[in-house]
Copies of this chain bind each other. A is one copy, B any other.
Amino acid sequence: MRYTYLGPAGTFTESALLSVPGADSAERIPATSVPNALERLALGEVDAAMVPIENSVEGGVSATLDAISASEGVRIIREVLVPIRFVLVAKPGTRMEDIRTISTHTHAWAQVRGWAEETLPQVDYLPGSSTAGAAVGLLDNERPGYEAAICSPALLEYHPELQVLADNIGDNKNAVTRFVLLSRTADIPEPTGADKTTLTVPLPADHAGALTALLEQFSVRGVNLSRIESRPTGEKMGSYAFSIDADAHIYEARMRDALRGLHRVAPEIKFLGSYPRADHQSTAPSAIHSDEAFAAAHAWVESLFPNGRPAALRR
Using an 8 Å CB-CB cutoff, how does the interface string of A52-69 with B read, 1 for contact, 0 for none? 001111111011000000
Q: A57-B234, A62-B59, A225-B211 are in contact. Are A264 and B301 (CB under 8 A)?
A: no
Q: A127-B127, A232-B57 are in contact. Are A263 and B220 (CB under 8 A)?
A: no
State whether the Cβ of A43 lies closer than 8 Å to any Cβ in chain B: no
B212 touches A296 (CB 8 A): no
List the number of copies, as a whole number: 4
B56 touches A264 (CB 8 A): no
State whether the Cβ of A145 lies closer than 8 Å to any Cβ in chain B: yes
State whether the Cβ of A78 lies closer than 8 Å to any Cβ in chain B: no
State whether the Cβ of A280 lies closer than 8 Å to any Cβ in chain B: no
Within 8 A of B (CB), among A207-246: 208-209, 211-213, 215-217, 219-221, 224-232, 234-238, 240
What residues of B have a CB within 8 angstroms of the CB of A59 in the complex?
62, 230-232
User: Out of B55, B265, B288, which one reaches A288, CB within 8 Å?
Assistant: B265
What's the least CB distance linking A291 to chain B, in Å?
A: 8
State whether the Cβ of A178 lies closer than 8 Å to any Cβ in chain B: yes
What residues of B have a CB within 8 angstroms of the CB of A251 in the complex?
310, 313
- CB closest residue in chain B, given A225: B211
Within 8 A of B (CB), among A29-81: 35, 54-60, 62-63, 81
